[in-house]
Structure 1
Amino acid sequence: MTSREERAIDATLNTTTDAPHATTDSSQAQPGLTRAESHRDTMAQLEGHENNGQSDAAQHSNAPRTSSDAADVEKQEHSEELEPVVSSDGKINGRSKGKIAIIMLALCLAVFLAALDVTIITTALPTISEEFNSAAGYTWIGSAFLLANSASIPSWGKVSDIFGRKPMLLVANVIFLIGSLVAALANSIGMLIAARAVQGVGGGGLIILVNIVIGDLFPMRIRGAFYGVIGGVWAIASSLGPILGGAFSQYVSWRWCFYINLPLDGIAFFILLFFLDIKTPRTPIVQGLKAIDWLGSLLVVGGTLMLLFGLQYGGVSAPWDSARVLCLIIIGAFTLFLFGMWEWKGAKYPIMPMALFASRSRAGTLGVVFLHGFVFISSSYYLPLYFQAVRGQSPIMSGVLILPTAVALAITSVATGAFIAKTGLFLPPIYFGFFFMTLGFGLFINFDAHSSWAKLVVFQLIAGLGIGPIFQSPIIALQAHINPRDIGTATATLGFVRQLATSVSVVIGEVVYQNQMEKKSAQISAALGPEAAGQITGGGAGASTQFIQRLPENQREVVRVAFADSLQPMWIMYTCFAALGFAVMLLIKKKQLSREHEETKTGLEAEKENAAARKAEANEKRASKATKRRSKAAPTSRPLSEATTAAAGDSDKEHSAAEAPDVPRSRTADNTAENTSS
């Protein structure tokens, strides 16, 4: 017997001696064990017990441990046995601090530009619409970017699995740069809208691929710190967007909203080209294109666009019960259903594996992402409306006044990343986030036409404390509960869910607000007259802000109070959705974050291996379910030898009882009680 085997046996005996109160501790694992030996040792130690961190009831449960549970524990213990990937000289996976800083600079620039272009256009829209004499442009310049962004996100993850992360990140940079250049040079509203759509495709790739690349570069345990930095950059860019857009429009030209992207995007491109050193597969272009799930891509793009078009038109361009709106929403939703069925049953290399939704923890994580996206976007969209329509501020000042939310968001995002890297815990930031987000948005309900500025700042800070931690924590939670091979598709799915949530949220929030405004139409008509009241109560949420500022003071006060009162039920709705997050996050299981790192294998061969592995796992699950069904169908059946032995034992007991002398009934009862208590 080798010394390694002796150590394994000693560890098992020591753990067994402490049962039933012993729990698994990674510090007891033997550093010399192989993975197979560690797995056998773990199975022996953990039979009938639960992992650390579970409830006492679960710890004393007699339910048998599944092989997947034991494999998770074995993987965690094996990870603790290995040396951290951060070497003594500060290198991470062989990369120096300087090189990592340069790579992160490029990744942050990419995210900064993609986030900036979502909001920079908002304060420039009136100037652009006036220059091109297009009222429709006011809506579609912003919508084209968001629609293309949402529809393209799912495909970027799978394409990067086939062709590699670095080439696709560079392609996304080029697409975004081309869209920015065409938008800056646009000489018609149609040209500008088309350019914004191109920007949206590139921007979707930038945000998703940056998150995927970070997952490839860094081990799970310290990955959160880098995601936190990305979240902070996103918050800063989003808050600076309206300020820069208004300044460019007022003092230079709205075209600088797009010109500013060119040098920054160029810098990011060349840094990534020369410094990003992740493995790139040599996938032949033709074979790679054939491997793309084109039908799935068509279904998800078409379904997403139809659904979002329907939500955009509803109540603005056409009534909600009109044929155009209903057809777009119903057919769009049905197309997304067909997409899910195709990905589940038909796709060879699915862009969104439906197995992601099969696990309780993964489904809970995606639910948390949806609720977070649904709630947080309302602060970016409706707080500026409050400041402009109710408090009479300019678009630029409204951007300045929402800085408290952005500042708190940025600080907590970075702090959350550092916390996860330090402790390896991703659930506490989610608890913390939903608590403060629910509290903050609940306080927004108190905003009225005369709320103090101190209240406006403090309430935003509280909400921002809740929004920030839930940006990056779910990414870590999802990646911790998936096979590393699925990091690309899983991260893209998370981005798609978040983007879909934000798009749906804005529409639902506006419907709630608009319905409340219509209820106050009689009150507004009495003060302003029917014609003026129609301009305020009709159309979109922000369509009448400039008209309000031209009203006399007494009429303006009536409208401001009506606006503030109409926003309150909307804040109640968002508070309820934030509170719902407390229930959904309970689905997510704790999991120890690994210190070891395995870079995801990409390329066509890797896709074939992954497809074979998924097929084998599906077959194993079907076989397991069939076995369970058979065991339930015959619950009393026992092996023949077992039944024979039991029958013989019963016969011996009867024979012994017949030969035994009579015992008083009370004595027998006492013995029975003693045996029962013992």
Structure 2
Amino acid sequence: MVFTELILTTGYSTWSDGPTSSGHPFCLGKLVASHLQRFAPRVYQAAVDVKTISGMENDKPALGKLSTHIQETIDLASPSTGSHMHLGNVGIWEVPDPGKSAFWTVERLYTIGDDARTVHTIPPQEQRLFGGTPPCIDAVVDNQVLSPVAIVGEGSLPPAANPGLDEPVTIVEPASETTRGRFRTSAIMVGLCGAIFLAALNQTTVATTIPTISNDLKSASGYAWITAAYFVASGVAGPIWSKFSDIWGRKLILLTAVALYFCFSIICATSQTMQMLIVGRSLQGAAGGALLQVVYATISDIFSMRTRTFYLSLLQMMWAIAGGLGPVVGGVFAQYASWRWVFWINLPISFVIFFLLWAFLDVHNPKTGIVPGLQAVDWYGICSMLAVVVTLLLGLNFGGDLVPWRSPLVICLLVASVLITPVFFLCERKARSPIVPLDIFGAVSNLMALVIGFAHDWAVFSTEFYLPLYFQAVKNASPVKSGLRIVPITCTQAVVGIVAGLIVHKSGRYLELIWVGVTLLALGNGLYINLNVSSSLGAIVAYQLVAATGAGLLFQPPLIALQALVPPRKTAAATSALGLVRNLSISIAIVVGHVVFSQRMDTQRNNLLDHGASENLADSFSGSAAAANVVLISTISDPELKITVQTAFADSLKGVWILCTSMCMHRCARTLEY
């Protein structure tokens, strides 16, 4: 339970043995009931963990019985004079005369600006202007607004030396940050950056090896699911891991995730069937969701706002490095060694990361029980969402491939997806801690920010997934060359993404970047429609630069827009919702793109037969089998037939580019407010 941004207030308030009759949440219980429903489970455990008050071990803690129902209040007995009750990293201060005072004073107020914290000292003659009832002073806790309560956390700012009412004072960094040595900080960051690099590398290395994997395992049906399974699991598991890290601490969850990633990589590397590989990729994605979610939360916990931007930029750099190396490394393994090394390479990296985080990461670990922790997770919402997505993807993947579209299996899967959708929304409406808070979708601008994130990841990952197929099938490139030809996209996206972040940081403007980004992304994907057998490398790179520039501009601004459009208390939920939407977008895009490509390849069968292809060869390049049999193109000796096959691949991939372009051709950016 690490609270990042805090405001300190001190004052008098009325205490009782239970909830007060006032409309203001004086006691912690009232605060939990009315403002902390999303954090109630961890507050519950933090309160249970209270052992002493102000170091007085023999004094009975000023904590009454905690209700078994989370939404009920926590009863607090009258505290001792000047007592200081610890709840994890947070202290709640109450001043003398409990039960008698009827006014509230504020001596100092800590506020949080764009770049610094400011201390405002209120003159004594003005301190009781808030008398009668507590003022509505907000404390930002994990981006959730609490009001009103006296809170001070570890490393809080010291009292100001008689500053004026609005005079800023020098920030004092959290104690844990100032006392942490340079070596320890460096070791922690190497571990955290390594975790991001590990997750990012596995997203980029696999794309160039999938044709080789499908051919080696003699399975075309799982072509799209090698990647889709990873992202479905990562998207669904991410919010669960994030919640677990709130409950049981960042370090424990990070170490668990790295260990699981190590084990699941072994499953992927030793897979003998496509089914085993897809299961391994699903498990690997579930562990990868923790690496992506919890690392960013850990950075926010251990570094102040002043230094946090620098360390977050290091994580962005890991994405850039992985994006540049991944496709090439995957191609090298597929061509010169074995595709299994794409997964074996995770083992030494995971081992080093685990050791660094275990030895050097120093963050608070709440002592939360297993049962209260598990009760805090929105299991109904998670299961219903997973059911919606999986039934939809299976129905789309089976239709027209394994079975006809009118097959009862396909119809049942698609209908089930539609029927379960309202169940998911009902679960989220009733949940105390929903993984997707529905009120975020209330405003059109919020919804459009999510739609832009959905369309962005659809186009970006479809391109990174299917362009290697174009290079290997149409341009007869080896896995290594196809990986090298993806580098202009990944590097441009990373560089433009960093530049966009700097522009927003300096100017505070993000809407213009969204407008330009959506336009360039749509234009670039539209240019991909022109790709054919005779397309020059220069033209291909030019198309890539246009699309990648638009994509790079849209990595961060939709998130910034969404955070700016929602109240501070909903920032964390909005961020989680956008991450979930993006992961689901990737999964759906890859499966739907594969369906479109396979259906169009089916229509090319007669044309291949007319140009002299045998029945077996035509079958090898029909439907979903086509993507898995790319390696057969190089064995065709007839030049005319070879060009016909390559043209069939290029024409079929046009459907994917048209789909990506249509996803970007909208005017969602215009609906966003300044």
TM over 0.5: yes
Deviations 1:223-279 (A, max 9, x none): 666555434423442453343234334444444322221221222233333444444
What is the alpha-carbon distance in structure 1 between the residues aligned to residue 530 and residue 316 of structure 2? 29
What is the alpha-carbon distance in structure 1 between the residues aligned to residue 183 and residue 564 of structure 2? 28
Q: Does 1:295 align with 2:380?
A: yes
Equivalent pair of 2:205/2:329 in contact (CA under 8 Å): yes
Deviations 1:446-479 (A, max 9, x none): 2221111111112212211111222223333333
Opposite residue 322 of structure 1, the aligned amino acid is S
Q: CA deviation at 1:216?
A: 4.4
- Alignment match, 1:650: none
Q: CA deviation at 1:501?
A: 1.0
- Max Rg structure: 1
- Alignment match, 1:323: 408
- Alignment match, 1:109: 194
Judged with a 3 Å threshold, the aligned counterparts in structure 2 of structure 1 residues 186 and 443 are, in CA distance, closer, same or farther, namely closer
Pairing of 1:402-417 with structure 2 (within 5 A): 402-417=486-501
Opposite residue 116 of structure 1, the aligned amino acid is L
Q: CA deviation at 1:141?
A: 4.6
Match of 2:295 among 202, 205, 210: 210
Judged with a 3 Å threshold, the aligned counterparts in structure 2 of structure 1 residues 260 and 511 are, in CA distance, closer, same or farther, namely closer
Q: CA deviation at 1:341?
A: 1.4
- Alignment match, 1:364: 448
Judged with a 3 Å threshold, the aligned counterparts in structure 2 of structure 1 residues 562 and 444 are, in CA distance, closer, same or farther, namely same
Return 5+ residue gaps in structure 2 as ranges: 1-112, 130-144, 146-165
- Alignment match, 2:92: none
What is the alpha-carbon distance in structure 1 between the residues aligned to residue 572 and residue 121 of structure 2? 31
- Alignment match, 2:285: 200
Deviations 1:147-170 (A, max 9, x none): 422332332333333333333223
1:528 aligned counterpart, secondary structure: coil
Equivalent pair of 1:306/1:329 in contact (CA under 8 Å): yes
Match of 1:170 among 255, 263, 274: 255
- Alignment match, 1:120: 205
1:468 aligned counterpart, secondary structure: helix
Equivalent pair of 1:233/1:410 in contact (CA under 8 Å): no
Deviations 1:406-455 (A, max 9, x none): 11112112222333333333334323322321222222222221111111
- Alignment match, 2:635: 550
Pairing of 1:232-631 with structure 2 (within 5 A): 232-344=317-429, 346-482=430-566, 486-529=570-613, 531=615, 532-540=617-625, 542-551=627-636, 552-580=638-666, 583-590=667-674
What is the alpha-carbon distance in structure 2 between the residues aligned to residue 588 and residue 92 of structure 1? 38
Opposite residue 541 of structure 2, the aligned amino acid is V
What is the alpha-carbon distance in structure 1 between the residues aligned to residue 485 and residue 114 of structure 2? 49
Opposite residue 477 of structure 2, the aligned amino acid is Q
1:325 aligned counterpart, secondary structure: helix
Equivalent pair of 2:221/2:625 in contact (CA under 8 Å): no
Pairing of 1:69-148 with structure 2 (within 5 A): 101-125=186-210, 141-148=226-233
Q: CA deviation at 1:175?
A: 1.7
Judged with a 3 Å threshold, the aligned counterparts in structure 2 of structure 1 residues 33 and 355 are, in CA distance, closer, same or farther, namely farther
Q: Does 1:180 align with 2:265?
A: yes
Equivalent pair of 1:228/1:415 in contact (CA under 8 Å): no
What is the alpha-carbon distance in structure 2 between the residues aligned to residue 26 and residue 185 of structure 1? 50
What is the alpha-carbon distance in structure 2 between the residues aligned to residue 579 and residue 137 of structure 1? 30
Equivalent pair of 1:102/1:275 in contact (CA under 8 Å): yes
What is the alpha-carbon distance in structure 2 between the residues aligned to residue 437 and residue 109 of structure 1? 30
Equivalent pair of 2:428/2:438 in contact (CA under 8 Å): yes
480-489 vs 432-441, greater mean Cα deviation: 480-489
Judged with a 3 Å threshold, the aligned counterparts in structure 2 of structure 1 residues 400 and 578 are, in CA distance, closer, same or farther, namely same
1:542 aligned counterpart, secondary structure: helix
Deviations 1:511-533 (A, max 9, x none): 44444444544433321347243
What is the alpha-carbon distance in structure 2 between the residues aligned to residue 508 and residue 84 of structure 1? 54
1:393 aligned counterpart, secondary structure: coil
Equivalent pair of 2:513/2:554 in contact (CA under 8 Å): yes
What is the alpha-carbon distance in structure 2 between the residues aligned to residue 124 and residue 569 of structure 1? 22
1:113 aligned counterpart, secondary structure: helix
What is the alpha-carbon distance in structure 1 between the residues aligned to residue 485 and residue 119 of structure 2? 56
Judged with a 3 Å threshold, the aligned counterparts in structure 2 of structure 1 residues 361 and 209 are, in CA distance, closer, same or farther, namely farther
- Alignment match, 2:241: 156
Equivalent pair of 1:115/1:238 in contact (CA under 8 Å): yes
Judged with a 3 Å threshold, the aligned counterparts in structure 2 of structure 1 residues 302 and 453 are, in CA distance, closer, same or farther, namely same
2:534 aligned counterpart, secondary structure: coil
Opposite residue 558 of structure 1, the aligned amino acid is T
Opposite residue 297 of structure 1, the aligned amino acid is I
Equivalent pair of 1:316/1:540 in contact (CA under 8 Å): no
Q: CA deviation at 1:378?
A: 1.8
105-114 vs 469-478, greater mean Cα deviation: 469-478
Judged with a 3 Å threshold, the aligned counterparts in structure 2 of structure 1 residues 336 and 119 are, in CA distance, closer, same or farther, namely farther
1:478 aligned counterpart, secondary structure: helix
What is the alpha-carbon distance in structure 2 between the residues aligned to residue 275 and residue 398 of structure 1? 40
What is the alpha-carbon distance in structure 2 between the residues aligned to residue 239 and residue 316 of structure 1? 34
What is the alpha-carbon distance in structure 1 between the residues aligned to residue 572 and residue 257 of structure 2? 15
248-257 vs 406-415, greater mean Cα deviation: 248-257
What is the alpha-carbon distance in structure 2 between the residues aligned to residue 259 and residue 413 of structure 1? 30
What is the alpha-carbon distance in structure 1 between the residues aligned to residue 326 and residue 386 of structure 2? 27
1:355 aligned counterpart, secondary structure: helix
What is the alpha-carbon distance in structure 2 between the residues aligned to residue 206 and residue 369 of structure 1? 20
Equivalent pair of 1:111/1:233 in contact (CA under 8 Å): yes
Equivalent pair of 1:221/1:421 in contact (CA under 8 Å): no
Deviations 1:378-406 (A, max 9, x none): 21122112111211112222111111111
Q: Specify which structure has the bigger relative contact order, considering alpha-carbon pairs within 8 angstroms and separated by 6 or more residues.
A: 1
Q: CA deviation at 1:99?
A: 5.8
What is the alpha-carbon distance in structure 2 between the residues aligned to residue 214 and residue 480 of structure 1? 21
TM-score (norm 2): 0.68
What is the alpha-carbon distance in structure 2 between the residues aligned to residue 226 and residue 409 of structure 1? 19
1:537 aligned counterpart, secondary structure: coil
324-333 vs 229-238, greater mean Cα deviation: 229-238
2:563 aligned counterpart, secondary structure: helix
Opposite residue 406 of structure 2, the aligned amino acid is D
Opposite residue 161 of structure 1, the aligned amino acid is D
Equivalent pair of 1:224/1:420 in contact (CA under 8 Å): no
More helix by share: 1
Equivalent pair of 2:265/2:284 in contact (CA under 8 Å): yes
TM-score (norm 1): 0.68
What is the alpha-carbon distance in structure 1 between the residues aligned to residue 307 and residue 443 of structure 2? 24
Q: CA deviation at 1:33?
A: 7.2
What is the alpha-carbon distance in structure 2 between the residues aligned to residue 280 and residue 240 of structure 1? 35
Q: How many pairs are equivalent?
A: 525
What is the alpha-carbon distance in structure 2 between the residues aligned to residue 82 and residue 450 of structure 1? 64
Q: CA deviation at 1:553?
A: 0.7
What is the alpha-carbon distance in structure 1 between the residues aligned to residue 274 and residue 366 of structure 2? 41
